[in-house]
């Protein structure tokens, strides 16, 4: 293979140098991008309650950050990709599929329904900030920007008696048409810093559910998913 040479002395601008090096030795085609539908997500432990939760502050692979918690390539940005935000979804999950085996009719702490109806899901303010400027503010984000993932309601019906039975059920809206649409969409350029937080200005709201123990930092997680279009360099 013939060896290509570049006369760097004839190049007077850094942009020219980069273009010349990329054209001959690069691993991606600068200026050429592909568009891919993508969701970026970030989950944090709810714990015993807090006045502020910060999302997308850590990249996947950082200490404790597995692909179950986030898929963000770079802390606070989309790295070499740009992203067009079309939807915001607020979610939760219970790690390890932990659940209660029995329910007594007077026990309001068995199951997460108490928190969904009377707890922290009923409050909070979500803010999406790009380069120190707020672009999205959602009051009661878990209600007004629900998961909307189309998941069906499934349950296992166990033994019933006068004191045990299927406990009351509640969940965030799962209907796909109820998702929070960002209109107009927000374009976040490559390497542009952004942050997303959910705050509770009136004070922390402690979890009500104790079975499963949602307050445990390894069991109960809340998160935010940004749904849209990723524009990434063609390799």
Which backbone phi and psi does 32 adopt, to 5 degrees? -110, 125
Q: Tell me, yes or no, whether 15 lies in a domain.
A: no
Whether residue 77 is preceded by a cis peptide bond, meaning omega within 30 degrees of 0, is: no
Which pLDDT score, from 0 to 100, does residue 1 have? 46
Task: Identify the three-state secondary structure at position 229.
Answer: strand
**Global pTM value:** 0.79
Structure tokens that stand for 198 in this block: 């959910």
Q: Tell me, yes or no, whether 16 lies in a domain.
A: no
The better pLDDT of the pair 19, 70 is held by 70
Q: Tell me, yes or no, whether 18 lies in a domain.
A: no
Residue from 64, 106, 112 nearest 92 by CA:
112
> CA 201, CA 217: separation in Å to the nearest integer?
22
Question: How confident is residue 62, by pLDDT bands cut at 50, 70 and 90?
Answer: confident
Between 11-20, 73-82, 105-114, the lowest mean confidence (pLDDT) is in 11-20
Q: Is the pLDDT at 178 greater than 90, yes or no?
A: no
Which pLDDT score, from 0 to 100, does residue 98 have? 55
Domain count, the chain: 1
Task: Identify the three-state secondary structure at position 84.
Answer: strand
Q: Tell me, yes or no, whether 77 lies in a domain.
A: yes
Q: Is the pLDDT at 71 greater than 70, yes or no?
A: yes
Q: Is the pLDDT at 215 greater than 80, yes or no?
A: no
Q: Which H or E run contains 117?
A: helix 113-118
The better pLDDT of the pair 123, 218 is held by 123
Structure tokens that stand for 178 in this block: 């109820």
Which pLDDT score, from 0 to 100, does residue 84 have? 95
Give how far Cα 6 sits from Cα of 9, 17, 20, Å.
9, 9, 7
Between 2-11, 91-100, 188-197, 219-228, the lowest mean confidence (pLDDT) is in 2-11
Structure tokens that stand for 193 in this block: 């810093």
Q: Tell me, yes or no, whether 8 lies in a domain.
A: no
Q: Tell me, yes or no, whether 135 lies in a domain.
A: yes
Q: Tell me, yes or no, whether 121 lies in a domain.
A: yes
Using CB atoms within 10 A of its CB, is residue 87 exposed (0-12), middle (13-18) or buried (19+)?
A: middle
Domain with 156 in it: 33-234
> CA 73, CA 61: separation in Å to the nearest integer?
9
Q: Tell me, yes or no, whether 69 lies in a domain.
A: yes
Residue 232 pairs in a beta bridge with 34
Q: List pLDDT tens digits, range 106-122.
A: 666 767 788 888 889 99
Q: List pLDDT tens digits, range 78-90.
A: 998 999 999 999 9
Residue with tokens 């109806």: 117
Q: What is the mean pLDDT of residues 19-25?
A: 73
Q: List pLDDT tens digits, range 114-168.
A: 888 888 999 999 999 999 999 999 999 999 999 887 776 655 555 555 555 566 6
Angle 98-102-106 (CA atoms, 0-180°, nearest 5)?
115
């Amino acid at each position: 293979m013939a060896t290509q040479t570049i006369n760097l002395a004839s190049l007077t601008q850094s942009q020219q140098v980069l273009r010349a090096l990329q054209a001959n030795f690069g691993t991606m085609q600068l200026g050429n991008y592909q568009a891919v539908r993508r969701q970026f997500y970030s989950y944090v432990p709810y714990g015993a309650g807090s006045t502020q939760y910060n999302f997308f502050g850590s990249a996947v692979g950082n200490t404790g950050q597995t692909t179950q918690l986030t898929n963000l390539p770079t802390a606070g940005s989309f790295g070499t990709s740009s992203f067009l935000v079309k939807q915001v979804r607020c979610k939760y999950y219970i790690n390890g599929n932990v659940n209660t085996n029995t329910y007594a009719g007077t026990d309001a702490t068995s199951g997460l329904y108490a928190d969904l109806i009377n707890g922290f899901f009923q409050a909070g303010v979500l803010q999406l900030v790009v380069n120190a400027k707020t672009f999205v503010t959602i009051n009661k984000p878990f209600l007004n920007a629900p998961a909307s993932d189309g998941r069906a309601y499934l349950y296992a019906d166990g033994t019933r008696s006068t004191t045990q039975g299927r406990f009351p059920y509640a969940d965030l809206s799962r209907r796909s048409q109820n998702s929070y649409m960002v209109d107009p969409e927000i374009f976040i350029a490559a390497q542009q810093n952004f942050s997303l937080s959910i705050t509770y200005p009136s004070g922390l709201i402690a979890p009500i559910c104790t079975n499963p123990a949602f307050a445990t930092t390894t069991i109960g997680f809340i998160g935010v998913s940004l749904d849209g279009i990723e524009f990434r360099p063609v390799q």
